[in-house]
Amino acid sequence: MTESTSRAACTIVSPNYLAYARTIATSYLAQHPGHRFFVLLVADLADTTAFAAEPYTAVAVNEIGLPDLPAEAMKYDILELNTNVKPTFLKYLIARYSLTRLVYLDPDIFCYAPLTPVFDALETHDAVLTPHITTPVFDGKTPGEQDLLFNGTYNLGFIAVRNTPESLRLLDWWERRCLDLGYSEGRTGLFVDQKWMNLAPGLFEQVKILRHPGCNMAYWNLHERSIAASAPAYAVRGPDGESPLCFFHFSGIVPSDPAVLSKHTDRFTLAQRTDLTQLFADYKAQVLANSGSSLEAIPYGFDTFPDGTTITRLCRRLYAKHQAHFSDNPFIGAWSAYARKQGLVAGKAAPQKATWKDFSSKDRRVEMVHTLLRTALRILGPNRYELLMRYLAHIAVLRNQSVFLNKGLPPQV
């Protein structure tokens, strides 16, 4: 095996994101001739025969050795499952293909130059991480330093590892945390696979924190980086001068909207950042050119019960809490019947996604809640009212609502 064939990169998608997978795979292979690129397909998929003509090697999620795929697919929603199988996938690829170096890249990344700084770091380190920011930002815009305390110091849209006993020990540790506690659950300090990596540089000695400005440039570090040269040899102007742009992370883009920089930031717009205009236009055009395949219509398959009933997040969280009581496939076994009986699911319409920012203080229903809280404060007084708020914060974590369901559970298996 040559050096190039023992090096590879990979990403993870569900079928609706295949246009992004094609784009990252093509860009990586163009910069790294002789390497391989693997795509993990997270869906209820029997095999990967239909993907033979794709520009990457497709791997089905049921191939990578998860101890109990149906259980993990019930515990976690589509975002959580796609992120939490990452260490298992990396371990599988290293063992299956005898890889010496392996890079993970999120599907919405594009490679503009060889990842030389990454592979150089792997010569002396077991794993490589990139911090979201390398200079302070405290301007009242999103994301700020507090957002990064919430979501994680390092962006796990990228990680690179070499095949050593220490890196495999890191992957084993990370895998267990992801499969057991990989929730997007800010109230308990958890954010899928990413937040756990805050601990990695302290737990494992040979973790390189790569500060190269051309690696993982994205909306979260635009306050400290700008594009200094145009295609095809893009360069980044960072805190310490200019460097080649190795890969840009287009997180939160809308390919069909030429004006959107990212849905996740209000710090800059593309109209303000003219240095990014051509970069974004070209990338969006490539994603759109790679879309439209019938493969993208393959259903995810883990978002409903077989009769089409939508699986709610409440259903997922309470299954996770009581998983020890249900040993069979939760999609077709006893948990399915129990969830219906307890009213944890209702109907076939997907639940509306919302955050607290989506609620208006002038909404009549919100005003009613505020009236109830004011009444509670008046009746309880400030000290007991604070205790009530502490309890409500606890019970707002959906897994903690299992106190409602203790009756009727079968014995643990």
The CA distance from 279 to 235, in Å, is: 11
Q: What count of other Cβ atoms lies within 10 Å of the Cβ of residue 133?
A: 18
What residues contact residue 347 under an 8 Å CB cut-off, 6+ apart? 309, 310
What residues contact residue 263 under an 8 Å CB cut-off, 6+ apart? 252, 253, 254
What confidence tens digit (pLDDT) does each residue in 126-149 have?
999 999 999 999 999 999 999 999
Contact 86, 334 (CB under 8 A): no
The stretches in the chain having pLDDT less than 70 are 1-4, 354-356, 406-407
- Res 279: pLDDT: 97
Angle of helix 165-181 relative to helix 86-97, nearest 10 degrees, comes to 140
The CA distances from residue 289 to 20, 282, 295, 404, 406, in Å, are: 10, 11, 15, 50, 52
- Res 348: pLDDT: 85
Name the one residue in this structure whose structure tokens are 């890889």. Answer: 99
The CA distance from 73 to 182, in Å, is: 12
- Res 1: pLDDT: 62
What confidence tens digit (pLDDT) does each residue in 212-227 have?
999 999 999 999 999 9
The CA distances from residue 71 to 314, 345, 411, in Å, are: 15, 17, 18
Question: What is this structure's pTM?
Answer: 0.95
Two tokens at 2? 């040559």
Contact 170, 200 (CB under 8 A): yes
- Res 402: pLDDT: 82
The CA distance from 335 to 324, in Å, is: 11
Radius of gyration of the chain measured on its C-alpha atoms = 23
- Res 411: pLDDT: 81
Two tokens at 266? 């209000």
Q: Where are the beta strands (DSSP E) in 230-354?
A: 235-238, 241-244, 247-249
- Res 231: pLDDT: 80
- Res 2: pLDDT: 67
Grouping H, G, I as helix, E, B as strand and the rest as coil, residue 248 is strand
The CA distance from 323 to 345, in Å, is: 17
Determine the longest span between alpha carbons in the chain, in angstroms. Answer: 75
The CA distance from 302 to 316, in Å, is: 11
Name the one residue in this structure whose structure tokens are 């950042």. Answer: 273
Two tokens at 335? 């948990």
Q: What count of other Cβ atoms lies within 10 Å of the Cβ of residue 385?
A: 16
Structural domains of the chain sorted by starting position, each given as residue range(s) with its CATH number in brackets: 7-289 (3.90.550.10), 304-413 (no CATH)
The CA distance from 25 to 109, in Å, is: 9
Two tokens at 381? 């007084």
State the burial class of residue 182 (Cβ atoms within 10 Å of its Cβ: 0-12, 13-18, 19+).
buried
- Res 410: pLDDT: 83
- Res 361: pLDDT: 76
Angle of helix 334-341 relative to helix 313-321, nearest 10 degrees, comes to 120
Two tokens at 121? 């770091």
φ, ψ (nearest 5 deg) of residue 40: -85, 125
